[in-house]
A = this chain, B = another copy of it.
Amino acid sequence: MGDVIAPATFDIPGIVGQLRDARHRWRTSQQRARDPGGRELPSRDAVAPIVQGLRGALFPMRLGPADLRQQSEDYYVGHTLDIALNALLAQVRLELRYAARHQSRATARHDGPEIDEAAIDARAHALVQAFAASLAPIRTLLDSDVQAAFHGDPAAGSVDEVLLCYPGVEAMIHHRLAHRLYELGVPLIARIVAEQAHGATGIDIHPGAQIGPAFFIDHGTGVVIGETAVIGERVRVYQAVTLGAKRFPADTDGHLHKGLARHPIVEDDVVIYAGATILGRVTLGRGSTIGGNVWLTRSVPPGSHISQASLQGESADHHSPTVATAA
């Protein structure tokens, strides 16, 4: 006698029903009407190839297909942009429509005006056109970032190595695209673009952050840069640096105030070493150096050299007042 493996049986209908009930409770709690239609939001799977295409269009010989030749770059760039921009247009439409519906649901009477699809389409189109016009300036900004990385890291062998290997550069490619999308009014797509870099590099830059040219993040894991941060030119930042907010102000009924300026301003030529934490709407004056692991919640004047020691008023270790953390 041999015995067969009995086919497993699970109570699929029962579990399906439980999950349906759970979804129903959630949708009810969120005041969502039952909607028979399809996906109403931009999707990560749709955004990923768009960013991939834009990266290739920006740096065809380094991030484009391996069998590309310089003499045919423009064909590749044109074809890739055509696909990527039209795909982006579809995602932008989804987000604008979603935002309009969300807003009308939040504010309007049940007999309020319908969403104006034609207006949304026109706005989406104009938005992507404006985004496309920004690509060349973004490339130029990114060139300055690559240059900054090459000059800032003694281990960098060439600008090509920087572009191929440095997670900080990868994060900045995403950020400069995401920031433009954020400015133009599609913060959700912008956030998806930013989170792809966060997942790949451990560098978490909110798309709202304003960052000047020649920005260099070394190593990068654990860096967090908040939504309203403003960063000048030629700034250098190491791993695990936080440019964050202090406790958020809340109104009397406990809702957070959204959108207030609550992150630091970092002026030109500042260097912030690994693990430093700068919190609140403070200003780091031009040319300052912030030492590793420093915890700072006040502004410092231009040319400051801040270290843990200096903060604690201790005189020990005077000869190396600004200890840097870089590998």
Contact = CB atoms under 8 A, between A and B. Distances in A.
Contacts of A26: 139-140, 143
Contacts of A222: 202, 221-222, 239-240
- A1, A73, A326 — which one has the most chain B CB atoms within 10 A of its CB? A326
A293 interface: yes
B327 A117 contact: no
B143 A22 contact: yes
B277 A68 contact: no
- Count the copies: 6
Q: Report, as a range, how many residues of chain A touch the other chain.
A: 35 or more
Contacts of A198: 167, 221
A112 interface: no
Contact of A41 (B2, B62, B245): B62
Interface string A16-55: 1011111101100110001111110111111000000000
Contact of A257 (B11, B125, B154, B240): B154
A47 B315 CA distance: 50
Contacts of A10: 81-82, 85-86, 128-129, 132
Interface string A276-293: 010100000000000011
A246 B320 contact: yes
Contacts of A200: 199
A306 interface: no
Nearest to A208: B155
B132 A11 contact: yes
A108 interface: no
A212 B146 CA distance: 34
Given A10-B129, A263-B327, A320-B297, A140 B247 contact: no
Contacts of A44: 164
Given A36-B70, A243-B327, A117 B19 contact: no
Contacts of A71: 9, 12, 36, 82
Contacts of A132: 10-11, 15
Contact of A242 (B66, B135, B274, B279): B274
A211 interface: no
B221 A192 contact: no
A224 interface: yes
26 contacts: A2-B120, A7-B37, A8-B85, A8-B125, A10-B86, A12-B85, A13-B78, A19-B139, A25-B143, A36-B69, A36-B70, A38-B68, A68-B83, A151-B256, A154-B248, A164-B191, A165-B188, A165-B195, A167-B198, A221-B224, A224-B239, A244-B324, A245-B325, A245-B326, A274-B277, A279-B325
4 A-B pairs with least C-beta separation? A7-B37, A2-B117, A75-B78, A226-B327
Given A153-B256, A279-B324, 4 more contacts: A3-B117, A9-B71, A67-B87, A226-B327
